[in-house]
Structure 1
Amino acid sequence: MAKKGIIVGLNINSKSEDFNELMIELENLCSACNIDVVGSITQNAKQVNRAYYIGIGKVEELLNIIKQEKADIVVFYNELSTSQLKNLEEKLNCEIIDRTALILDIFAQRAKTREAKLQVEVASLRYMLPRLIGSNENLGRQSGGVGTKNRGSGEKKLELDRRRIEEKITSLNRELDDLKFQRETQRNMRKKSNLPNVALVGYTNAGKSSIMNELVDIFKNSEEKKVFEKNMLFATLETSIRSIVLQDNKEFLLSDTVGFVSNLPHDLVKAFRSTLEEVCEADVLLHVIDVSNPSYKNHIKVTVDTLNQIGANDIPIINIYNKIDLVDEELLNDIVDDIGKEGIFVSAKKNINIDKMVKCICDSIFKDYIRCKLLIPYSEGNVASYFNNNTSVINTEYMEEGTLLDVECSNIEYNKYKKYVLE
């Protein structure tokens, strides 16, 4: 059963339209965490209220809405200090969380692999640590405030708890380092295959997994190879890699990665940095954009900013404008006029323009492929078999001296089998 929630935002420096988009995003995050938003409170202010984050008048207004809507939880867009959380809980008699805690909760629910679970746990512990230390401010009141003996005892317990959390973080990071080493080994093995690497990136719920599954469907016809997809934020938390073999035997690796979101908590960026390394290794990025979402321009900015943050801003990008089946023709024409025709407009669900997208990918990653003719002696049938199974064979002729193949192949293949090439 969904919790009833109220969202709260304090606007200090943002433009009103940008701030409204952030609040819409917060509502979507709540929905992803099974919270039904029944009310919203916003405030424009020059500075934060140190006690409650929002002004006392807004706190009273919030209390009235909680009673009226029988709300279970209040979610603040802005990150709250320990004392603010405590003061708000006492005043409102309600569960209070901030956006960071909400995202951590979503990630914890979505994590499937051991690595994703460890990354979320590390981020959660890092989030908890300063709040544990911050609670020292109220230690005297919590222990009754009687003498230095009790306060010293409380401080020792706090220090012990802090040390245990730090030790746990260190232990989890060691395990993550082992998993990172395994992933690097796998990545190096993939590099040896010399296959181009294409990575799907974009805002969460833009349809990256749907695009991967559509390509798997078209070129692999294998249900077990599909990745999990659902119309919700952060359905994918771990990197999935699939080999896409085209009809002409050209092949590339396709990576589906964790979606981005505005102002992703620093601890989560740090925790998932190793997972996002797959993006940095790509030859081409497919930036998937949900054009049915009114905030798609902001989503583009968030993705570009995140790519800059992880050092992937120099990799060639193909913009894929997805979910055009959900946009009426007039609005779609306005969008095309607004952002230009650079990029591919597709619908992964309806298989619209997927062929154009594949051609665009191929034009980018196979542009250095060489077309040549090879004369392979009949005694070396294994070489002819290699080209038939692994490259694009345009024509085959059986000559007196051997098999004449007209092929398209990579530079590496060309140099390896150069002795068979007819100049």
Structure 2
Amino acid sequence: MITGNIDSVRKRILEELEEIFDIRTAKYAFIDERIIEIMIKATKELNREISVLVDRKGKVAEVTIGDSSTVSMPLVDLRDNKLSRVRVVHTHPNGNPNLSALDVSALVKMKLDSIIAIGVSDHPEVVMGFLTVENQKVHVEATRPMSLEDAQRFNIIDRIVYNEGLLLEAEDLEEEDERAVLIGLDSEESLVELAELANAADVTVGEVVFQNRASQDNAFYIGKGKVGEVRDVLQLTRSNLVIADDELTGSQIRNLEDELGVKVIDRTTLILEIFARRARSREAKLQVELAQLKYRMSRLIGLGTVMSRTGGGIGTRGPGEQQLEIDRRKIRDRVNDLKNELKKVVAIRNVQRENRNQNEIQRISLVGYTNSGKSTLRNALADMASKDSIVKSKVLEKDMLFATLDTTTRAISFEDNRVVTLTDTVGFVRKLPHDLIEAFKSTLEEVIYSDLLVHVIDGSVDDCFAQAVAVDEVLEEIGAGGTDRIIAINKIDLGKSYRTEDVVKLYEGKYPIIEISAKNGTNLKKLMEEMASALPDNLVEIEAVIPYDMQRLVSLLHDKGTVISEEYEETGTKIRAKVPQRELHQYKEFIKGGSNAGFDH
């Protein structure tokens, strides 16, 4: 019986396909010539893929009709390190014999003896894919396109038996690591950053292919000729992934996967993957899942293996495969649920912010490009000026893009004992996905409501000027472009880039500029002084003697104000402190020097 998409298929074609079940393939042939004729004829008439499942004895077990680009694969029993003892031979109506990403995925997941594609054209060609083992890892090897005549002379059983022997001898097999070829049109510098992003996602970069092109190709992103070059590079570097430096449409991904036979993702998917791995708090996880679903929802139709594969790897983390298989309506429902959950988190954050407002505690946020050293600076300043006697946990410091995502806030005090909050925020990056900015707005609100921004710039990299401009653009987008700021040119211990002068010219006369090394502590005291100078002192200093039966006011001073000194006298606690103006009335009768003392500060 013929399975698959048989709607509107003529009875004559179905009867011809039924004949395939009666044809036995010779032992060493990949499939009988008569079966090939029937498959090619049906493919041309229907413009659909035809798939035939053949066992090692040459018996046909299944015949399936697909659509113009895919065909459903049969279910087979998986047997530890053994192959399934069946091979899938199928046609490609577009004439391209190269294995698609779905073909490769089916070969790996189902442990097929082989997957074979026939490109249907005036001169059909064949490509065969096999599983093999190298360095205790399973990987896919594919033949170059060959004619039908050469394919019939290929001893497929010998190759299958040899490869199965490698599988049986190996122990504790792991899936092949992801190795990527990077492609881009923007600039070679942008591809360097893309390589760093790939490294942050634990992906090895096999090669970088840059095409100097004014605009994207609507079908393939890069030019059709460049696609062939990428295919060769994939084989030479044994890569199994392609990462594009720009956001791709669903059709571009599908077309590239059909041509290249490997999974294709874009820069946005890669960044979302990194965020999914780095998210630790519940809020960050909700934000990442929301961004992933919103991005995928618009690409639900036409997106390639990123949407359909059931294995691991980039593009499959976060909400998980269940969300990848459901329709737009269910995804939209999940998006609404996430938005409602995030509203609750935002409400809690607003309460915390309101408490700080009531205490008149001023807020400083560290902003900057990812990997500019914000977390290192946050830890160094917290160590120097922490208000807490017990040092709280540090945020992760690592030379890696997006090492930390979760916003953390700590109280620090200046030399005049003023207490402010210092917030470490998520790093920015060029081409930051809009959905990600939208999802992280609750986090970025800490930047919007800050009294002062410290813009941390990695002055050691040649890309520092472009990175500084990218941060300014994101600050404008979120509505924080007009906030006062200090420019902290970091990592001067590594030497300054020739572009540092351009950064200085960009901000000179607008904001204070300080060169620092967060790692070595260089000029951090000067930075603290500049931060104190940039924030007006809005507290009133008083000296009072609080009776011992009014000790709740002393506790209130510790909680709401800044205690400078504290002594115990016969009549009560003598205390010098800075308090918010609105709290001053509670201490009026105890203020030393008269009831009006301190009110003219």
Other structure's SS at 2:287 match = helix
Decide whether aligned partners of structure 1 residues 91 and 134 sit closer, same or farther in structure 2, where only a CA change above 3 A counts: closer
Q: How much does 1:75 deviate?
A: 0.6
Contact 1:133–1:162 (8 Å) recurs in 2? no
Equivalent residues in 2 for 1:141-156, closer than 5 Å: none
2:517 corresponds to: 347
Q: How much does 1:410 deviate?
A: 4.7
2:532 corresponds to: 362
Contact 2:184–2:191 (8 Å) recurs in 1? yes
Answer yes or no: is 1:29 the counterpart of 2:173: no
Equivalent residues in 2 for 1:224-235, closer than 5 Å: 224-235=392-403
1:115 corresponds to: 283
C-alpha distance in structure 2 between counterparts of 1:338 and 1:391, whole Å: 39
Contact 1:197–1:284 (8 Å) recurs in 2? yes
**Cα deviations by residue, 1:88-112 (Å, 9 ceiling, x for unpaired):** 1121111211001100100000011
Equivalent residues in 2 for 1:4-403, closer than 5 Å: 4-11=179-186, 19-134=187-302, 161-220=327-386, 222-246=390-414, 248-327=416-495, 338=505, 340=508, 342-370=512-540, 374=543, 376=545, 382=551, 390-391=561-562, 393=564
The letter of the residue matching 1:117 is: K
C-alpha distance in structure 2 between counterparts of 1:135 and 1:72, whole Å: 18
Structure 2: gaps (5+ residues): 1-175, 305-323, 589-594
Q: Which shifted more, 100-109 or 330-339?
A: 330-339
Q: How much does 1:380 deviate?
A: 8.0
Contact 2:566–2:573 (8 Å) recurs in 1? no
Q: Which shifted more, 338-347 or 170-179?
A: 338-347
Q: Which shifted more, 405-414 or 123-132?
A: 405-414
The letter of the residue matching 1:34 is: D
C-alpha distance in structure 2 between counterparts of 1:129 and 1:164, whole Å: 10
Contact 2:468–2:503 (8 Å) recurs in 1? no
Identity, in percent, stands at: 37
Contact 1:51–1:87 (8 Å) recurs in 2? yes
Contact 1:394–1:408 (8 Å) recurs in 2? no
Contact 1:376–1:384 (8 Å) recurs in 2? no
The letter of the residue matching 2:340 is: R
Report the number of matched residues: 392
Q: How much does 1:376 deviate?
A: 3.9
1:139 corresponds to: none
Other structure's SS at 2:360 match = coil
**Cα deviations by residue, 1:227-268 (Å, 9 ceiling, x for unpaired):** 222221112212111111345432111111111111211111
Decide whether aligned partners of structure 1 residues 349 and 368 sit closer, same or farther in structure 2, where only a CA change above 3 A counts: same
Contact 2:563–2:575 (8 Å) recurs in 1? no
TM-score normalized by the length of structure 1: 0.82
Other structure's SS at 2:474 match = helix
Q: How much does 1:36 deviate?
A: 2.2
C-alpha distance in structure 2 between counterparts of 1:223 and 1:90, whole Å: 55
Larger radius of gyration: 2
Decide whether aligned partners of structure 1 residues 185 and 63 sit closer, same or farther in structure 2, where only a CA change above 3 A counts: same
**Cα deviations by residue, 1:169-193 (Å, 9 ceiling, x for unpaired):** 1122221122222222222222222
Other structure's SS at 1:131 match = coil
Decide whether aligned partners of structure 1 residues 190 and 394 sit closer, same or farther in structure 2, where only a CA change above 3 A counts: closer
Name the structure with the higher helix share. 1
The letter of the residue matching 1:164 is: K
TM-score normalized by the length of structure 2: 0.59
Decide whether aligned partners of structure 1 residues 381 and 308 sit closer, same or farther in structure 2, where only a CA change above 3 A counts: same
Decide whether aligned partners of structure 1 residues 169 and 351 sit closer, same or farther in structure 2, where only a CA change above 3 A counts: same
**Cα deviations by residue, 1:88-144 (Å, 9 ceiling, x for unpaired):** 1121111211001100100000011111111111111111112113469xxxxxxxx
- Larger relative contact order (CA 8 Å, sep ≥ 6): 1
Contact 1:241–1:253 (8 Å) recurs in 2? yes
